[in-house]
Amino acid sequence: GVTAPGRYSLFFALLPPPELAERIAGDAAGWRSSLGLTGRAMEAERLHLTLLWVAPEASPATTKAMQAVAARVHMAPADVRLDRLGRFERRAGRPGPVVLLSSDPSALPDLLALQDRLQDEVLAAGFPARVLPHYQPHMTLLHDRRPVPIQSVGPYAWTASEFVLVRSHIGLRHYDILGRWPLHTAAA
């Protein structure tokens, strides 16, 4: 039968290698326990580093436009290094994302350049993007109301050789990968 259309969002992301994702998920379960957090942890296969969150809908037209945007982005592979655990603040009483962060984002120039380029291309294509004045590379592990003091962890590092476009089914904890684009050293 035909199911009612769900609500979706679209975002560009980097995916950690599967073995690293498993390690992070295992460590996240440990922190959840040791810090007394109650939020539901992300499954290893859903862990990602968000580059850019795009329009709050994933119509076929928007999806196609974002795939065209991605095809125009030719950048070098991006080193990722996350070595801090913390929590982003949200409005009072709302759970905030517990995240892995980089203690020195300026040491990740290819990652910052990729994010900047994607943001420029999405805006140039006439689409709204959630533009952050200071992009903070991060990986969300779970959402929780309890504060998490910033602490050193890991590090969790990899070199991303591709970026992906993800469609998230809001409320269903399910992602579809709608495209993968390589990151090459010989930038076009």
23-43 pLDDT, tens digit per residue, is: 999 999 999 999 999 999 999
Percent of the chain with pLDDT over 90: 63
143-179 pLDDT, tens digit per residue, is: 999 889 999 999 999 999 999 999 887 666 778 999 9
3-26 pLDDT, tens digit per residue, is: 445 677 889 999 999 999 999 999
Pure H helices in 1-129: 18-34, 60-71, 109-124
Query: pTM of whole model > 0.85?
Result: yes
36-91 pLDDT, tens digit per residue, is: 999 999 999 999 999 998 866 667 888 899 999 999 999 999 999 999 999 988 77
Q: Is 22 exposed, middle or buried (0-12, 13-18, 19+ CB in 10 A)?
A: middle
Other CB atoms within a 10 A radius of the CB of residue 63 amount to 20
Per-residue model confidence (pLDDT) at position 94: 78
Q: Quick one: tokens of 121?
A: 């291309």
117-127 pLDDT, tens digit per residue, is: 999 999 898 88
Q: Quick one: tokens of 188?
A: 């076009």
127-154 core/surface letters (b: 16 or more CB in 10 A; e: else): eebeeeeebebbbbbbbbeeebeeeebe
Name the DSSP class of 129. Answer: B
Percent of the chain with pLDDT over 70: 88
Per-residue model confidence (pLDDT) at position 164: 97
Per-residue model confidence (pLDDT) at position 96: 87
